[in-house]
Structures are given as structure tokens and as C-alpha cells.
């Protein structure tokens, strides 16, 4: 797979349980504003989910499903008050939310795509593939100026929740040119991080020829509260197989909430991350089977 305009368009259904999604996430620690917006397509219908956090608390939540859709472009999809518009393919987009805390944001990609290929163990375990890009994000949220970082992601496939118990998506945007993105899928029968299939990507804009590399070995550890919501985390990265010293990230939650989504529960959180003198923000979501 190679990310291009064709791969960014909505996918034709490919078997039972197939779904397609476009996800934006964003954070501005100075303004204390964070959010996630997701548009989905499945069985000829569109769905939407938007969550906005202010000063650590959710200030807007909107969800909508079952909206009839016949879309050849994500620009045609509307749900939960969300609308995404392509300015330049794979480079710039506008995102609008007309809900309780409205926002208008422009996402400008600062990284190449992190591509989760079909043969990747995490893609096989989760039944999904796709790609993500780090973005500079500017605009307004609830009428307040927003100037931060974020990520735009595409994912599609047919996840089988009889074969897995949870999926994690972790992102750390240290600045516009340095980031880490991780996907972890825990198969049924496994009880901890050790049994998860991981795909981890390291974006270093200082490497002109290969700014994005898949990490050879990654280790994720997480602490939780009494409700099993993520509170802090650490990640060790051995980017190359022969690395003797790991890159280390440490993060703690700054905003979060939990939502029941039918047979699944979403623990959505934003973290403050630190890595080798850089301080940034990012998202850490856990989607688990109830």
C-alpha cells in the first residue's frame, strides 16, 4: 500500500462487517483545548463522533449513526454536526463541527504517511489497515483561538471482536517535526500488554531521506485508575534492530472520558508527553470489548 489520493477516498465495502473511517485529533495545551472527530461509513450509512475537552473535562460530545450516505469523497459525508473538506489532497483539510462547542480548524500535514500495511501483525490481528499523518492545526474552538498539533488518520477493514479484546491507538506529537504513533491489538485470551500485536512509527523530520520509520521493537506500559481508565504511560522505542539504547517517552493524562458504544467501550484520553527534552501532547485511546 502507498498512500495517495485514491487510497484516501472512501472504500467500497469488502465483505461482511467492513467499515471505513476518517479520524482527526487535535490538542493545544496553551489553550487547554483538545478534541477528536470521527466520520465513518458502513453498510451504506454514515456515522459521526465528536468529543471536545476544555480544561481537562469534556465540554461537548456528539454521536450520530445510521445516516444514509452514498459518498465518493469524504467531503460528501455529514454526521454528528461534522464536515471535512479537502483543501489539497493528502496535504491540507478543513474540519468543522456545528455542535455545542463548535470548531473550525485547518489541518496541514507536516509528515509523510505512517502506513499500516495489510501484512503488518497489528493489521492482521485487528482486521484493519490505513495511514496517519501528523498535522499543524489552527483555527478556533468554541470561539477561542486554537494553535496546536494533531493527527489525521484513515482506517478501513472488518475487525472481528470475537478474536480480540481491545485495541489501543497512541500518538505523541512532540512538535511539528517529531512524533510517535502506535497501534496495539490484544487478541482474545491474552491478559496484558505482552500479548499484543504492535505497530509503531517514529517520525523524525531531521532525517531528510527517511523521516518516518517503523520501529523495530516497542514496549508500552500503562497505569490505570479504578475504572480501568489510562492515567500514565511509558514507551520504549528501539527504532533499529541493533539499537542498544532506547528512546523513552513518558506521559500523563490531561483530559479524558469514557463512552459506551454498543458492545464496545471507548476510553478516550489526551496526554502530555515528554521525550528527550521535548514536551508535546497526543492521544491515547483504548477501545475494549464489553
Q: For residue 103, count CB atoms less than 10 angstroms from its CB and return exposed for 0-12, middle for 13-18, buried for 19 or more.
A: buried
Sole residue written with cell 491507538: 169
Give the CA distances from residue 53 to residues 26, 93, 265, 287, in Å, rounded to whole numbers and listed in that order.
Answer: 10, 21, 18, 19
165 or 16, higher pLDDT = 165
Interval 5-36: pLDDT, tens: 778 999 988 778 899 999 999 999 999 999 99
Cα–Cα distance list, 247 to 206, 219, 235 (Å): 15, 11, 8
Rounded Cα gap, residues 50 and 81, in angstroms: 8
Phi-psi region of 119 (alpha: psi -120 to 50; beta: other; left: phi over 0): alpha
Rounded CA separation 49/62 (Å): 6
pLDDT tens per residue, range 193-230: 668 999 999 999 999 899 999 999 999 999 999 988 99
SS3 284: strand
Mean per-residue pLDDT for 126-138?
A: 97
- Residue 194 pLDDT: 66
Model confidence band, residue 2 (pLDDT cutoffs 50, 70, 90): low
pLDDT (tens digit per residue) in 224-262 = 999 889 999 999 999 999 999 999 999 999 999 999 998
Q: Which of helix, strand or coil describes residue 102?
A: coil
**Residue 141, C-alpha cell as written in the block:** 474552538
172 φ, ψ (degrees, to nearest 5): -130, 110
**DSSP letters of 16-28?**
TT-EEEEEEEEEE
- Percentage, residues of the chain above pLDDT 70: 97
pLDDT at 1 over 70: no
Strands 57-68 and 78-79 come out as unpaired
Question: What letters, b where the CB count within 10 A reaches 16 and e where it falls short, cover 136-159?
Answer: bbbbebbeeebebbbbbbbbbbeb
Indicate the Cα dihedral angle 159, 259, 261, 226, nearest 10°.
Answer: 70
CA–CA separation, 204 and 210 (whole Å): 8
Q: Determine how β-strand 264-275 pairs with β-strand 144-157.
A: unpaired
Spell out the long-range contacts of 87-96 with Cβ–Cβ below 8 A and sequence spacing 24 or more.
89/5, 89/8, 90/3, 90/4, 90/5, 90/8, 90/133, 93/24, 93/152, 95/24, 95/37
Q: Which are the contacts of 183, defined by CB distance < 8 A and separation ≥ 6?
A: 116, 122, 126, 167, 168, 169, 170, 198, 199, 200
Biggest distance spanned by C-alpha atoms of the chain: 53
Among 145-149, 188-192, 220-224, the least confident range: 188-192
Amino acid at each position: 500500500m502507498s498512500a495517495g489520493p485514491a487510497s484516501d477516498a472512501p472504500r467500497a465495502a469488502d465483505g461482511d462487517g467492513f467499515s471505513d473511517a476518517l479520524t482527526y485529533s487535535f490538542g493545544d495545551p496553551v489553550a487547554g483545548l483538545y478534541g477528536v472527530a470521527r466520520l465513518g461509513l458502513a453498510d451504506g450509512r454514515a456515522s459521526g463522533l465528536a468529543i471536545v475537552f476544555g480544561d481537562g473535562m469534556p465540554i461537548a460530545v456528539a454521536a450520530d449513526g445510521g445516516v444514509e450516505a452514498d459518498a465518493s469523497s469524504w467531503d460528501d459525508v455529514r454526521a454528528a454536526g461534522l464536515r471535512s473538506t479537502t483543501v489539497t489532497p493528502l496535504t491540507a483539510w478543513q474540519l468543522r463541527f456545528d455542535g455545542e462547542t463548535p470548531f473550525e480548524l485547518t489541518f496541514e500535514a507536516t509528515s509523510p504517511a505512517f502506513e499500516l500495511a495489510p501484512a503488518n501483525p497489528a493489521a492482521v490481528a485487528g482486521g484493519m489497515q490505513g495511514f496517519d499523518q501528523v498535522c499543524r492545526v489552527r483555527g478556533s474552538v468554541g470561539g477561542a483561538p486554537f494553535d496546536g498539533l494533531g493527527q489525521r488518520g484513515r482506517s478501513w477493514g472488518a475487525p472481528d471482536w470475537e478474536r480480540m479484546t481491545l485495541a489501543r491507538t497512541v500518538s505523541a506529537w512532540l512538535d511539528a517535526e517529531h512524533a510517535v504513533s502506535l497501534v496495539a491489538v490484544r487478541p482474545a485470551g491474552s491478559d496484558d500488554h505482552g500479548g499484543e500485536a504492535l505497530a509503531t512509527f517514529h517520525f523524525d523530520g531531521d532525517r531528510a531521506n527517511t523521516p518516518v520509520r517503523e520501529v523495530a521493537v516497542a514496549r508500552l506500559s500503562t497505569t490505570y485508575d479504578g475504572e480501568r481508565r489510562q492515567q500514565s504511560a511509558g514507551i520504549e522505542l528501539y527504532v533499529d534492530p541493533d539499537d542498544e539504547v532506547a528512546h523513552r517517552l513518558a506521559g500523563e493524562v490531561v483530559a479524558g472520558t469514557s463512552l459506551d458504544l454498543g458492545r464496545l467501550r471507548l476510553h478516550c484520553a489526551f496526554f502530555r508527553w515528554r521525550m528527550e527534552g521535548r514536551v508535546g501532547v497526543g492521544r491515547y485511546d483504548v477501545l475494549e470489548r464489553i
